[in-house]
């Protein structure tokens, strides 16, 4: 039996009327509407029309969308996500799941990246499955990753785009005899409008090779004031600089060293003096992170600690403050704040923990469906349309 076709409406004289035309908006109005939508939603609309695809692929549109998203504090859950690595398995978690964890739900809803439609086969095509993948950092929606053989990629986990950073090991072998990479740093400088990757290389003095995404080129930066001791981890972007802990060669004192992304020069800031006394054993390692936008220093030693340090006013030595928590840690990394900065999500001893600083209590969180329990690395990123290949299109 054939399906009956719906009759076209007729006018008063019985003649068929043409279908009503859909309302059309000027391109400027469509652009303003799209700018106020989450990045993931805009990505889904790319197949709607050529205009939608053109706008969502435009670097200028992506920058404006990012600026509006960063200024709009009313919808943080629409742009902030957590990415977790269990050696070879990557998972992403929405901010909403973290907020719900504050309300007593311990299992976080997670999505495995290789199983996500937009990320299908992306990770496996860039990295060998037998190599350990690490996250250097994230900035404006771009996640910088590396592995055991120093392959470096930039990913946009929202759009599925990627870019390989070329020539890391080749440059190190040419510029440093017997050198090896001790750590990376990744960040964006608004003044130069450029994304920068910094690779620290071992040597008698502080050596760094700096890659500009905008110019697709490398340069060497050396500073004889510092040694490379203790600079064995990835640096953190705070206040326009990537930070590590180093020693001054002049007097052997530990200092916080910042690589300024605008001037491409190193400068140092005071180290909290009391931190040296709190860790008297031989294997003293200090790692820098970020907590609520402020520089934060934790211990990375074999011995467990129940405290860490926060620089409340950037660059001011006297503003270093010691913070004690009710749980001891051998490794710890603050990730993001929840609920007006009262609670903080952190990686603590290989677990995800939601810590309430007001009540001095914490809750251990689990990733629903994850194949392993001990987290290797974790970071946060924001959903954006920024392309790692945007300068290639210019």
**Residue 288, C-beta contacts closer than 8 angstroms, at least 6 positions apart:** 235, 236, 243, 244, 245, 256, 295, 296, 297
| Strand ordering across the sheet containing 181-189 | 181-189, 194-201, 206-212, 217-223
3-state SS assignment for residue 251: coil
Can you give the pLDDT at residue 117? Answer: 44
Can you give the pLDDT at residue 19? Answer: 57
What the block records as the tokens of 244 is 């590590």
How far is the CA of 361 from the CAs of 19, 342, 344, 350, 356, in angstroms? 63, 11, 11, 18, 5
**Cα separation of 146 and 160, whole Å?**
17
- Cα atoms in the 13 Å half-sphere on the side-chain side of 309: 24
pTM reported for the whole predicted model: 0.84
Instruction: Name the CATH topology of 70-393.
Output: Neuraminidase (2.120.10)
Dihedrals φ, ψ of 78, to 5°?
-80, -10
C-beta of residue 386 within 8 angstroms of C-beta of residue 140: yes
Render each residue's pLDDT in the chain as its tens digit; 394 residues.
444 455 555 555 555 656 555 457 787 888 888 888 888 888 777 777 777 788 778 899 999 999 888 876 544 445 788 888 776 677 888 877 776 766 666 777 777 776 444 444 455 556 566 667 788 999 999 999 887 777 888 999 888 888 988 877 776 665 555 567 888 999 999 999 999 999 888 777 778 889 999 999 999 888 888 876 555 678 889 999 999 988 888 888 888 999 999 999 999 888 887 776 665 555 667 889 998 889 999 987 767 888 899 999 999 999 999 999 988 888 889 988 876 677 888 898 888 888 988 888 888 888 877 766 677 788 888 889 999 998 876 5
H-helix or E-strand spanning residue 55 = helix 50-56
Can you give the pLDDT at residue 126? Answer: 61
DSSP secondary structure string for all residues of 116-146? SGGGTTHHHHHS-TTSPEEEEEEETTEEEEE
Domain boundaries defined on the chain: 27-57, 70-393
Can you give the pLDDT at residue 103? Answer: 67
């Amino acid at each position: 039996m054939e399906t009956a076709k719906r009759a076209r409406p007729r006018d008063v004289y019985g003649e068929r009327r043409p279908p009503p035309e859909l309302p059309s908006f000027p391109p400027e109005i469509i652009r303003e509407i799209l700018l106020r939508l989450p990045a993931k939603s805009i990505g889904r609309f790319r197949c709607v029309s050529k205009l939608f695809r053109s706008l969502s692929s435009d670097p200028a549109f992506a920058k404006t969308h990012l600026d509006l998203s960063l200024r709009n504090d009313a919808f943080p859950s629409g742009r902030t996500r957590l990415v977790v690595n269990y050696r070879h398995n990557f998972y992403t978690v929405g901010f909403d799941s973290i907020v719900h964890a504050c309300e007593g739900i311990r299992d976080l809803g997670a999505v495995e990246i290789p199983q996500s439609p937009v990320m299908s086969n992306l990770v496996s095509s860039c990295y060998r499955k037998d190599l350990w993948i690490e996250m250097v950092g994230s900035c404006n929606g771009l996640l910088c990753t590396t592995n055991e053989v120093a392959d470096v990629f930039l990913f946009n986990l929202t759009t599925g785009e990627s870019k390989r950073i070329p020539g890391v090991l080749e440059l190190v072998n040419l510029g440093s005899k017997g050198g090896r990479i001790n750590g990376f740093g990744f960040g964006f400088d608004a003044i130069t409008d450029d994304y920068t990757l910094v690779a620290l290389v071992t040597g008698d003095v502080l050596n760094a090779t700096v890659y500009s995404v905008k110019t697709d080129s490398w340069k060497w930066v050396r500073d004889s004031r510092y040694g490379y001791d203790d600079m064995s981890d990835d640096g953190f972007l705070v206040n326009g600089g990537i930070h590590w802990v180093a020693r001054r060669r002049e007097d052997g004192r530990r200092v916080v060293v910042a690589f300024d992304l605008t001037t491409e020069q190193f400068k140092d800031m005071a180290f909290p003096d009391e931190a040296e006394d709190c860790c008297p054993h031989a294997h003293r390692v200090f790692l820098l992170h970020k907590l609520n936008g402020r520089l934060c220093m934790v211990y990375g030693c074999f011995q467990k600690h129940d405290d860490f340090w926060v620089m409340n006013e950037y660059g001011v030595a006297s503003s270093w403050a010691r913070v004690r928590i009710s749980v001891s840690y051998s490794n710890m990394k603050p990730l993001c704040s929840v609920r007006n900065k009262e609670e903080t999500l952190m990686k603590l001893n290989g677990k995800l923990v939601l810590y309430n600083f007001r009540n001095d209590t914490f809750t251990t969180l689990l990733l629903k469906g994850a194949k392993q329990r001990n987290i290797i690395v974790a970071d946060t990123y924001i959903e954006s349309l920024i392309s790692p290949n945007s300068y290639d299109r210019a």
